[in-house]
Amino acid sequence: MSLLFGFAPWIVYWVLVGNVPFLTAVLLALATAIATFVVGRRSGKPGQTLQIGAVATFAVLAVLTLVLDQDALERWMQPLSNAGIFLVALVGALTGRSFVREYAEEGQPDNVISSDLFGRIVTRLTWVWVGVFAGMTASSMIPPIVQGDATIMDTEKPLSFVFYWVIPIALLAVGAAASKILPDRMMTGMADAERKTTFVAFREAEIDELFYLATKHANREVGPGKEAYNVQVGAKGTPLVGDDSRLSWPSTYKVREKTVR
């Protein structure tokens, strides 16, 4: 639901464009983008990358709507809106501010977020969306390039409506399906994934005490109904700031259903 909230400005635009004047569609999308940004900031919701990108995209499109003629708008406004969200996703992926990660981290505990499996799934899903938006952009650019008089209003020529609408919407559906399937697989695989954490022990603690404390700390993290196993303690602890008597030790563990004894 949060991701749908982030896509709201583009959804508003894609529903309206071609059915209302271009300026109306763009201004309503821009207003939605600003509203989602403000609501997100006030509520602490994720998705700042997508929200900021939406405001920038539709601000630019609003200016273009005022300077381009009607024919140019009918040919290029749809490809430009797709290019906007493609650039948002690509820049976010390349700069480490993936909108997918922002939404995926919501409500997840720190040990899940820091796991290697979570990182791999988020990275894979990020590039799935980059590919989806790249395909949508490329598809919607074909009609105006191949057929100079193509418009998003054309319902007679397959080149126009297939590449402007059918293929991009199909690709969007693929991205939506992937967003559902991959997180489900992530949570299924998380049960046997190695999790990382740290615990605190006195500097003089023996190895048996370290394993006991690591196991106790891990079981507190996994919660009721589950238990930690295959607990491993790192080779070296880090002194706590202002407390030389204790060390912070890295540890890893896996999780399984708690066995009834």
Domains of the chain: which residue ranges?
Answer: 2-190, 195-257
Query: pLDDT tier at 222 (50, 70, 90 boundaries)?
Result: confident
The angle formed by the CA atoms of residues 48, 53 and 58, to the nearest 5 degrees, is 135
Beta bridge partners of 232: 252
> How does pLDDT run across 91-117, given as a tens digit for each residue?
999 998 888 888 888 777 776 777 777
Render 132-180 in DSSP notation, one character per residue.
Answer: HHHHHHHHHHHHHHHSTT--TT--S-HHHHIIIIIHHHHHHHHHHHHHH
Tell me, what's the pLDDT at 2?
A: 65
Over the stretch 32-48, which tens digit does the pLDDT of each residue have? Answer: 999 988 988 777 665 68
- Classify strands 243-257 and 195-202 as parallel, antiparallel or unpaired: antiparallel
**Does pLDDT of 237 surpass 80?**
yes
Instruction: Give the least confident one: 50-59, 160-169, 226-235.
Output: 226-235
- Residue 165 pLDDT: 93
Provide the mean pLDDT of the chain: 87
Residue that the structure tokens 């997508």 belong to? 50
Residue 97 has what pLDDT?
Answer: 87
Indicate whether 1 pLDDT > 60.
no
CA nearest neighbour of 220 among 195, 190, 193, 248? 195
- What per-residue string of b and e applies to 202-211 under the rule 16 or more CB within 10 Å gives b? eeebeeeebe
pLDDT (0 to 100) of residue 45? 65
pLDDT of residue 143: 94
Residue 220 confidence class, pLDDT cut points 50, 70, 90? confident
Residue 204: both structure tokens together: 């003089």
Quote the tokens at residue 233. Answer: 């303690």
- Say what percent of the chain tops pLDDT 90: 48
Q: Is the pLDDT of residue 192 over 80?
A: no
Return the closest-CA partner of residue 134 out of 99, 94, 88, 67.
88
Looking at residue 205, what DSSP letter applies? -
Q: Would you state the pLDDT for residue 148?
A: 79
Mean pLDDT of 232-260: 85
Structure tokens at 12: 């508003």
pLDDT tier, 28 (very low <50, low <70, confident <90, very high otherwise): very high
Which of 117-121, 160-164, 241-245 ranks highest by mean pLDDT? 160-164
Q: What is the pLDDT of residue 185?
A: 65
Q: How far, in whole angstroms, is CA 81 from its chain's centroid?
A: 19
Quick check: 160 pLDDT over 80?
Answer: yes
